Homo-oligomer: A and B are copies of this chain.
Amino acid sequence: MRIMILGGDGYLGWATAMHFAARGDEVCVIDNYLRRKIARDTDSEALSDNPLLDARCALFAAHTNRRIRCEIFDLAEHDRLFRLMEEFQPDCAVHYAEQPSAPYSMKSFAEAKLTLDNNLTATHNLIWAVLEKAPDCHIVKLGTMGEYGTPNIDIEEGWIDIEHKGRREKFLYPRQASSLYHTTKVLDTDLLWFYVRTYGLRVTDLMQGPVYGLATAETDIHPDLGVNFHYDDIFGTVVNRFIVQAIAGIPLTVYGKGGQTRGYLNLTDTLQCIELAARNPVKPGELRIANQFTELFSVNDLADRVKRVGDAMGLKVAVDHIDNPRREMEEHYYNVVRRELPALGLEPHPMTDEVLADMIQRILPLRDRIVPARVLPRVAWKNRKRTG
């Protein structure tokens, strides 16, 4: 198939690009290096320096004889996106091209504005590029489980049937996120659903949980083809951060009580999910929403696991409960329906001790590059003072 990957320089974008290219699909990646710029601006650079995207595409081609087309531009340049869409005619467009950091989006007005503008503009321009230039293209959009927040009822898969005063209606499941970043994904969902039902767009919206992991079949082809491994408070997700803390001898930083429960998945399972969605497109006018994770853990569970595995490897891991920089419930009900991706054939790879040990083994040689200041929270949600 012909597949366009928006945000192809990212942790998931690059792994996805290689995954499809290795299977013989025609891949075109787009990126504007926004994440690299933010990482420099916030002292949150990845553990290893990855070559730029065009260089990685060239390296991948040299080792695999599979070409990945690389286009570097900002999706705000809608003319350029429209032209590329017309020319490339993708069967599927995978949309990762968003500012993905919750703490960054909560730093101040400037970062909030950048996040809102960048994410909504990218989504809206993509919608119209498809409508105008490749109307049969199936959009696979990365949403987040964070859109739902932590409601006191079961989290259904994107939709909910409400019975109210003796009548019934089906709605988008009400979303209520805990950062501006996550809220921009709620707005994306609203926008996509509007255009799906009005103009017959084809969309799969994947509500993904935090992803962990370093390796895919393709990252191991060459060290410079690895993923961007972020372990900082801005771009690092919690599992990656705990692994680095364990290695650097820093106590694992559990935010608050640690009862926060989320749905996690391995990077390789993300690739499986994206491929299942892409190879099973929805009909025109259909918005399919899938909850994308394989296992539920609380932060305390994760800390215990990383400690157990790290200790067994001689790391002497400590766990520290620190003041929660975020506004979120630290103990809550969390029961999530998950049917769509298993029905498409997802075979989950659980987070075994071996998986965690492999991550630790891969990071150990890079121990000296770890900057301890980056793994502690530098952005707080709560510190706005009212003057009134």
Contacts and interface: CB of A to CB of B under 8 A. Distances in A.
B387 A136 contact: yes
Looking at A120, A131, A174, the one whose CB has the most chain B CB atoms below 10 A away is A174
Contact of A135 (B109, B199, B387): B387
Contacts of A154: 164-165, 167
Contacts of A153: 162, 164-165, 167-169
Contacts of A174: 160, 162, 171-172, 174
A139 to B, nearest CB: 14
8 contacts: A120-B120, A136-B388, A153-B168, A160-B162, A162-B174, A171-B174, A187-B191, A284-B386
A381 interface: yes
Nearest to A109: B128
A206 to B, nearest CB: 20
A186 interface: yes
A297 interface: no
Interface residues of A, number: 53
A248 to B, nearest CB: 32
Nearest to A164: B153
Contacts of A194: 177, 180, 183
A186 B194 CA distance: 11
Nearest to A199: B384
B190 A183 contact: yes
A203 to B, nearest CB: 14
Contacts of A178: 198
B113 A124 contact: yes
Interface of A: 78, 109, 112-113, 116-117, 120-121, 124-125, 128, 131-132, 135-136, 151-154, 160, 162-165, 167-169, 171-172, 174-178, 180, 183, 186-187, 190-191, 193-194, 198-200, 284, 327, 333, 381, 384, 386-388
Contacts of A167: 152-154, 333
Contacts of A200: 384, 386
B191 A183 contact: yes
Contact of A381 (B162, B164, B168, B198): B198
Contact of A172 (B163, B176, B384): B176
A76 to B, nearest CB: 10
Contact of A132 (B109, B117, B160): B109
Contacts of A386: 135-136, 200, 284
A168 to B, nearest CB: 7
Contacts of A136: 386-388
Nearest to A188: B187
Contacts of A165: 153-154
A168 B152 CA distance: 7
Given A109-B128, A153-B162, A199-B384, 18 more contacts: A113-B125, A116-B124, A131-B384, A135-B386, A151-B169, A152-B167, A153-B169, A160-B162, A160-B174, A167-B333, A171-B176, A183-B190, A186-B190, A187-B190, A190-B190, A200-B384, A284-B386, A284-B388
Looking at A128, A177, A381, A386, the one whose CB has the most chain B CB atoms below 10 A away is A386
